């Protein structure tokens, strides 16, 4: 299970552990007991929390036994990090340490990178500007944005290309990565302009200039200045003409801007360019699928969404869109399966499971719908969701024969009284009301 924990941040840890947790709970639906033969950490707790959400779970851990068996049960990833930690005790400066930590950041393992960084910080008496930039990136990837801000600010003092890049990274903290209460578009714009001025004096910095303009376009878009954002990205595209990955990012963002600006032809062109330039990034295919779905081109959208689903198993919005599109195309069984896949990725969002049950009912699969509805955490739902769940339970019962038509009608009336504000229940009551009988004697 340790190998499941090597991901960028807590969201990715949970995202990748969820399919693993579902497999465990499918094998042990009545619950299981886990004896931990090693040290417990936050990542382990996250894993057990995901598993425990779906099946009774008992975790047994003995500090004495953990110390005794520590060496026996260590996996290769843990051994590698510990070896680097031991080597770090002999390192003499940040220049020697940076390549090692950079190796973990390159594969997205911010957890191990931060662990090593904090060991280095306890040894060295100062931080160089170059090291500060790397440290800021590691804390940002780990979701600790306030600590990242501290080191990004140190990195801006480096000057040259390193300092200019640090201004872009610092600006994006304030534009989108900080908690909402700490964000400031005006402050982010000011930082980007400082970075842009520094880049203007540097040769061979076209990629960084383009990324600076891409970040500024985001700030302008969030400030409701879409035409200016579009103009910036159009001007930035020639700067990355020979870089397919950077070009894909700019094309994708430009396509999304054109889409919300009411220019669908330009939007489709640029979104399509992004998928061709970087075909392995699922987000590009997802954005194209969303655009095509909004345009009512559901078959094309489904093809794009399926391409995205083949590339990732950790973005719940992807199978959710597949489910919506199958439903729009009149394929409720496939829609139900897709929504259930979305819930496996994000079991905290019971909206996916409710949608899966709705489609299962539409496909006539009452027992499947009932089983899924039994997993829903009813108390955490909104009143509208609670009303829909009870209505779906009633529908599923009629499909399985457990609820008679007469009993269903009576139960529906009671639901109408329990949820007087539910439009969904009101519509069902109106649909089930008997047709008025015409008076044959009326002239």
**172 and 95 in a common domain:** yes
What is the C-alpha to C-alpha distance for residues 271 and 256, in angstroms, rounded to an integer?
7
Q: What are 92-101's pLDDT values in tens digits?
A: 788 888 888 8
336 falls within a domain: no
Q: Is residue 337 part of a domain?
A: no
Residue 260 lies in a domain: no
Rounded to an integer, what distance in angstroms lies between the CA atom of residue 379 and that of residue 206? Answer: 54
pLDDT band at 18 (very low <50, low <70, confident <90, very high): low
37-59 tens-digit pLDDT: 555 655 566 667 767 766 677 77
Among 31-45, 138-152, 167-181, which stretch is predicted with the lowest mean pLDDT? 31-45
Within-domain flag for 362: yes
Query: Between residues 6 and 360, which one has the greater pLDDT?
Result: 360
Both ends of the chain: CA-CA distance in Å? Answer: 80
pLDDT of residue 175: 95
- Residue 19's domain comprises 1-74
Of 183, 202, 221, at which residue does a domain stop? Answer: 202
Q: Are residues 88 and 70 in the same domain?
A: no
CA distance 396 to 388: 12
Domain boundary (25, 40, 74) is at: 74
For residue 237, tell me if it sits in a domain. no
pLDDT in tens, 213-230: 999 999 999 999 999 999
Residues 51 and 114 placed together within one structural domain of the fold: no
Q: What is the pLDDT of residue 115?
A: 82
Residues 93 and 152 in one domain: yes
Task: Specify if 40 maps to a domain.
Answer: yes
**Average pLDDT estimate for 266-280:** 96
**Torsions phi, psi of 315, nearest 5?**
-115, 105
Dist. CA 321–CA 312, nearest whole Å: 14
The answer on 426 and 357 residing in a single domain is yes
User: Is residue 10 over pLDDT 70?
Assistant: no
CATH, residue 186: 1.25.40
Read off the pLDDT of residues 81-126 as tens digits, 9 standing for 90 and up: 677 777 777 777 888 888 888 888 877 777 788 888 888 888 888 8
User: 284-300 burial, b for 16+ CB within 10 Å, e for fewer?
Assistant: bbbbbbbbbbeeeebeb
pTM: 0.77
Question: Based on the domain organization, do 34 and 117 belong to the same domain?
Answer: no
Task: List beta partners, residue 34.
Answer: 59
Instruction: Among 3-7, 37-41, 251-255, 413-417, name the most confident range.
Output: 251-255
Same domain, 355 and 373: yes
Count: domains in the chain: 3
Assess whether 65 and 109 both reside in one domain.
Answer: no
Contacts of 371 (CB under 8 A, 6+ apart): none
Domain end, chosen from 43, 74, 105, is at 74
In the prediction, which pLDDT does 71 show?
44
Q: Are residues 371 and 407 in the same domain?
A: yes
Q: Which residue has the higher pLDDT, 5 or 272?
A: 272
- What pLDDT shows up at residue 200? 87
Mean pLDDT across 326-351: 94
Verify that 123 and 189 share a domain, yes or no. Answer: yes
**46 and 62 share one domain:** yes
pLDDT given at position 95 = 86
Q: Are residues 46 and 119 in the same domain?
A: no
Q: Is residue 263 part of a domain?
A: no
Confidence of residue 436 (pLDDT cuts 50, 70, 90): low
Q: What is the pLDDT of residues 223-258, one digit of tens each?
A: 999 999 999 999 999 999 989 999 999 999 999 999
Is 80 exceeded by the pLDDT of residue 74? no
Closest CA to 320 of 331, 310, 335, 333: 335
Give residue 5's pLDDT: 41
| 292 in any annotated domain | no
């Amino acid at each position: 299970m340790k190998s499941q924990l090597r991901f960028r941040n807590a969201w990715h840890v949970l995202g990748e552990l969820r399919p693993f947790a579902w497999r465990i709970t499918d094998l042990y639906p009545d619950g299981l007991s886990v004896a931990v033969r090693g040290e417990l950490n936050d990542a382990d707790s996250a894993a057990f929390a995901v598993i425990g959400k779906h099946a009774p779970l008992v975790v047994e851990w003995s500090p004495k036994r953990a110390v005794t068996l520590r060496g026996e049960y260590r996996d290769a990833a843990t051994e590698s990090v510990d070896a680097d930690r031991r080597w770090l005790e002999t390192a003499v400066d940040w220049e020697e340490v940076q390549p090692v930590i950079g190796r973990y950041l390159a594969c997205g393992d911010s957890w191990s990178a931060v662990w090593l960084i904090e060991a280095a910080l306890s040894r060295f008496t100062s931080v160089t500007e170059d090291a500060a930039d790397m440290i800021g990136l590691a804390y940002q990837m780990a979701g600790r944005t306030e600590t990242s801000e501290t080191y990004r600010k140190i990195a801006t003092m480096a000057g040259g290309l390193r300092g200019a890049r640090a201004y872009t990274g610092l600006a994006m903290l304030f534009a989108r990565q900080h908690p909402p209460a700490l964000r400031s578009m005006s402050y982010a714009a000011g930082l980007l302009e400082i970075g842009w001025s520094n880049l203007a004096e540097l040769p061979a910095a076209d990629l960084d200039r383009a990324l600076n303009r891409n970040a500024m376009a985001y700030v302008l878009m969030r400030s409701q200045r879409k035409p200016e954002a579009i103009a910036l990205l159009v001007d930035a595209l020639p700067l990355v003409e020979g870089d397919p990955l950077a070009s894909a990012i700019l094309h994708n963002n430009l396509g999304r801007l054109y889409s919300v600006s009411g220019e669908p032809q330009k939007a489709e062109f640029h979104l399509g360019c992004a998928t061709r330039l970087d075909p392995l990034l699922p987000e590009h295919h997802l954005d194209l699928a969303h655009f095509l779905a909004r345009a009512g081109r559901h078959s094309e959208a489904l093809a794009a969404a399926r391409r995205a689903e083949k590339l990732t198993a950790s973005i719940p919005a992807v199978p959710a869109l597949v489910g919506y599109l199958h439903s729009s195309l009149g394929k409720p069984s496939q829609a139900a399966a897709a929504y259930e896949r979305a819930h496996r990725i994000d079991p905290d969002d019971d909206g996916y499971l409710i949608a899966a049950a709705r489609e299962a009912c539409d496909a006539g699969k009452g027992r499947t719908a009932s089983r899924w509805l039994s997993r829903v955490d009813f108390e955490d739902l909104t009143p509208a969701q609670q009303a829909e769940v009870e209505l779906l339970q009633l529908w599923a019962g009629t499909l399985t024969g457990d609820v008679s038509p007469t009993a269903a009608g009576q139960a529906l009336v009671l639901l109408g009284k329990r949820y007087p504000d539910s439009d969904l229940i009101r519509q069902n009551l109106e649909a089930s009301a008997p047709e008025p009988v015409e008076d044959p004697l009326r002239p």
